[in-house]
Homo-oligomer: A and B are copies of this chain.
Amino acid sequence: MAYLDRVFHSLSDGTRRAVIAQLAGGPASVGELARQHRMALPSFMKHIHVLEESEIVVSRKMGRVRMCQLRPGALAAAQGWLEQERRVWETRLNQLDSFVETLAEQDNTHGHE
């Protein structure tokens, strides 16, 4: 699976988005993160693994707890892709607006003939 596939797949689940939102506020242990979700720990750990595979979250064992944090630039690729497509699209819509305005002006001219 390509990198962006994994990133967007990670983002396609409400539990994983909630984990990202929580980690945006600072690192947290798996226990602290899991506490927010009504889910068995093994199921929750699967979400953590998906987030790690997409390189959004990094975790490491510190003593007896596993600490998680967002990887720097974790969401930059996804944001970059969306921003690029939006720009292409907006440029096109602006061109279309100008075209429609030109048509409307021509129509007005004809109307007054």
Contact pick for A17, options B4, B24, B79, B89, CB 8 Å:
B4
Contact (Cβ within 8 A) B89 A82: no
User: Complex Cα distance A92/B23, Å?
Assistant: 10
**Interface residue count on the A side (C-beta < 8 Å):** 29
Contact (Cβ within 8 A) B5 A8: no
Contacts of A81 in B (CB 8 A): 11, 17
Contact (Cβ within 8 A) A85 B89: no
Give A95 Cβ to nearest chain B Cβ, in Å. Answer: 9
User: Complex Cα distance A75/B83, Å?
Assistant: 9
Contact (Cβ within 8 A) A14 B5: yes
Contacts of A20 in B (CB 8 A): 85
Given A12-B12, A92-B25: A75 and B79 within 8 A (CB)?
A: no
CB within 8 Å of B: which residues of A? Answer: 2, 4-9, 11-14, 17, 20-21, 24-26, 70, 75, 78-79, 81-83, 85-86, 88-89, 92
